[in-house]
Amino acid sequence: MEKKVLVVDDEERVVQSIAGVLEDEGFLVAKARSGEEAIGIFQQEKPDVTLLDIWMPGMDGIEVLKRLKWIAPDCQVIMVSGHATISTAMAAVKSGAFDFIEKPLSLDVLVTTIRRAIDRQKELLAVERSEEIVIEEPPPQKKIVFQREMAGESIPTFLSPPQEKVPSPREISKRKLTSLSLQRTLKRSMVLYGTGLHSGMKTGLLLQPLPPHSGILFGNISSDEVVPANLKYVHTTEFATSLKRGRAIAKTIEHLMAVFHAYRITNVMVKMIEEIPIMDGSALEFCKIIEEAGVEEQEERVDELVIDRRLEVVHRNKSIVIEPSEVFSVYYYLDYPFPIGKQSLDFTLENEEVFKDQIASARTFGFLKDIKMLERMGMGGGGRLHNFILVDDEKIVNTELRYPDEFVRHKILDLIGDFYLLNCPIRGRVTAHLTGHTENIALMKKIQEEMREKER
């Protein structure tokens, strides 16, 4: 059965262009050129998906969205804008939009997003039917068959089921292992608003699901340029890990990357304004937004990197080592002057719950003596009393610690984030002594060199 898309935009040229593309892809298309007209056509045509421009004269897209969600709470609406900001994206997603995409529209992104919205509608219908069957208490065998049919329907149309048999460890190399885990993305788009730690600028995040093998991509909210979360594009490690490719910049990514690592998110678009917001100085808010969005397992499997020999990086009194292990674990030791002192922790990244409980809420920290230096460098502008543990020669100045050893826990948080820049989970045990982002990246480059040598 052909699916119907309602296209709402006040520009005739845009409506006709989008309609032509969608009809070529096999969709039925209804058209509206104002918010008022869109509401009437929506009630009459009952489209599967509505593609709705935000900026229109009269009733704007956000108001139309609210009206459509009032008429049909489960309707799937994709917002479109050519003048996007974090604030407008946030308003759209919080008002119930399925997703938010920007002009000029990419054909692939447009069609993929519409198909994802249709699949989401199928999932909602499946839940409703399942609830009806449970109420009627059908025979157990019929109920099982029905659930399997619904699960099959929920597979996104742009994904193809895996055809190959998953190889056993003996059938593949020691360096790369195709695991039994599936790739993961988010179930829906989410928006988070905040301030950049080092820039001091108002910023935010728009997180968008991506299909398998897309990877983690960072892009500017008003540009189509992106930089992959890849070791190749590490631009600086001074006080934070930042990426750059062309004009695409992603600063202070380590806390968000740690959450992607812990929740095993492999495919996601991160739209922002240059720097990831610092939030409360920890990764806890990022955990919450991932959980609110929901995690969707995809049809392709994840490649893991298996460490098969000891590798080490030493910089003066700092050292970091990785050795073979069945899981990813970190032992970190730090030694700072009073009032921090010596702290150590042994942590195994078993799952997201353990990460959230033991590591995610540990906040970033710094020393009073370093503030003037950061200011001279144009950094630290977003540091506030509520998002930064400030330490002087005698005491912690501005807050109560969440853990007695919060400092070492935060170091592990940063390390977990940095180590996801190899684009795959790692099986290995890391032992770190007084290290930071620079040493983390140096060890990963050594791991990458080893991988290339093995492949020759």
Phi, psi dihedral angles at 292 (to 5 degrees): -70, -40
Using DSSP bridges, classify how beta strands 190-195 and 202-209 pair: parallel, antiparallel or unpaired.
antiparallel
Q: How far apart are CA 399 and CA 222, in angstroms?
A: 37
Q: How far apart are CA 436 and CA 426, in angstroms?
A: 19
Contact 52, 65 (CB under 8 A): yes
Using DSSP bridges, classify how beta strands 4-8 and 28-32 pair: parallel, antiparallel or unpaired.
parallel
Task: Say which residues have a Cβ less than 8 Å from residue 249's Cβ, sequence separation at least 6.
Answer: 220, 227, 235, 242, 243, 274
Encode 179-193: b = buried (16+ Cβ within 10 Å), e = exposed: eeebbbbbebbbbbe
Q: What is the SS3 assignment for 89?
A: helix
Q: How far apart are CA 301 and CA 96, in angstroms?
A: 31
Find the catalytic residue in 198, 255, 410, 437. 437
SS3 content of the chain, % helix, strand, coil (to 5): 35, 30, 35
- Please give the single-letter amino acid code of residue 445: K
For the chain, what is the radius of gyration of the CA atoms? 24
> Known catalytic residue: 437?
yes
How many CB atoms neighbour CB 247 within 10 A?
Answer: 9
Phi, psi dihedral angles at 102 (to 5 degrees): -115, 150
Residues forming the active site: 437
